[in-house]
Amino acid sequence: MKSRFQTRRRSGFTLIELLVVIAIIAILAGMLLPAVSRVSANAKKKQVLSQMSNLAAAVQAYEAKYSRLPASAKTRAAVNANFPDFIFGTQQEGGQLQASKPGVGYTSVLNRSGAPWQVSNAELMTILLREQRTINGEVINKGNELNPQQEIFLTVKSETGKKPDRVSDDDGAFRDAYGFPYIVIVDLDSDGRVRNPFAGAPGEKEFINAPVVVFSLGADGQVDFSRAPVGQTAKGTVNGDNLYSWK
């Protein structure tokens, strides 16, 4: 015979038990989130490094085919004896290109000759992808005059808008995984090297022995050419997260 005082079977959790479970979940989440963030950051870094390598290789493949680097007449006219290598920077159509995320500001990188012609990698993309585009009022690669064999030198996604990791159908620029235009420097005086944009910074040489170099402004979109670009002295500065094809 069962006792009438037999304890009833419990169902569900008490409030204290629920709070303990929630606390454990919060602790685990706090431990996992930094690891997930690191994995995501490393994936973006690898992606950017791969794209910079591919972009530099595409420019060199163009040079091997046509015995010249991809550049319009306006770009070639925008260099001089003091600055013979052109920097495809961040300005176009008279202003700074928009980052992928609207309203985000980032460092303006200009060609340094003093010529008014400022253009982003959109010119390179137009030529390398056998397209035609009006930039700064000039028709670039009209009738494929700069790519007469109509070869596509780079495999990259193109899309409307200004999305990361894409060539924009709107302004033609190739943005990195952080949403900022890749900076490309090309050797227009054909001496096999480009002037180091960090020349003058501690430990930096005046020239980089390559006909084309590419770099990314990193997650913060910032660069300081007066500081060391990499290494221990770059840590904690705006250059700490920048990526370079030659480093």
Average pLDDT, consecutive stretches of 10 residues, N- to C-terminus, the chain (247 residues): 51 76 81 69 92 98 98 98 97 98 97 97 98 98 98 96 97 98 97 96 95 98 97 94 96
How far apart CA 89 and CA 181 sit, in angstroms, is 8
Closest CA to 44 of 222, 156, 165: 165
What is the reported pTM? 0.86
How far apart CA 179 and CA 100 sit, in angstroms, is 5
Confidence (pLDDT) at 43: 87
Closest CA to 89 of 113, 111, 60: 111
How far apart CA 86 and CA 113 sit, in angstroms, is 8
**188 contact partners, CB below 8 Å, separation of at least 6:** 69, 71, 75, 76, 79, 84, 85, 86
